[in-house]
């Protein structure tokens, strides 16, 4: 599984896969307190990965941010949320997803709730 991040918070674009247009959507991004969380797209299809990485916009408009071992079922089932770099941003993101702020009263509970929701914040430094 490879995860790609766009420089935009939501981005729809087309790439050529096997000579045919293929739509990819970098989703899940948003703006929180003036900070942009960039949209991501993930796939385990090697043809799509190759097309993305050979696209002229690769490296400028979208980049590879993570590669997961497909044998780790747990990680591949998680929603990757890029751009969350601290615990407060994670808390705000979870509140935006409908989690009651009272459940998020300390870092341990924030991380526990993210785990329960199968969310991964790969950019977060604890």
Q: Give pLDDT, residue 74.
A: 53
Q: Give pLDDT, residue 73.
A: 42
Give percent of the chain with pLDDT exceeding 70: 93
Other C-beta atoms closer than 10 Å to the C-beta of 55 total 17
Mean pLDDT, the chain, whole residue set: 87
Comparing 72 with 111, the larger pLDDT belongs to 111
Which whole-number Å values give the CA distances from 36 to 29, 31, 41, 42, 105, in the listed order?
7, 4, 16, 19, 24
Sequence spans of domains, the chain = 2-120
Give percent of the chain with pLDDT exceeding 90: 38
Average pLDDT (32-42) is 88
pTM of the model: 0.57
70: pLDDT strictly greater than 80 = no
């Amino acid at each position: 599984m490879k995860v790609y991040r766009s420089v935009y918070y939501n981005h729809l674009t087309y790439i050529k896969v096997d000579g045919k247009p293929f739509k990819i959507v970098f989703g899940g991004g948003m703006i929180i307190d003036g900070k942009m969380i960039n949209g991501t797209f993930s796939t385990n299809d090697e043809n799509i990965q190759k097309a993305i990485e050979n696209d002229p916009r690769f490296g400028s408009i979208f980049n590879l941010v993570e590669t997961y071992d497909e044998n780790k079922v747990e990680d591949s089932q998680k929603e990757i949320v890029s751009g969350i770099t601290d615990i407060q941003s994670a808390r705000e993101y979870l509140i935006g997803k409908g989690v009651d702020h009272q459940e998020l009263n300390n870092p341990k509970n924030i991380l526990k709730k993210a785990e329960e929701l199968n969310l991964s914040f790969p950019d977060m430094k604890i």
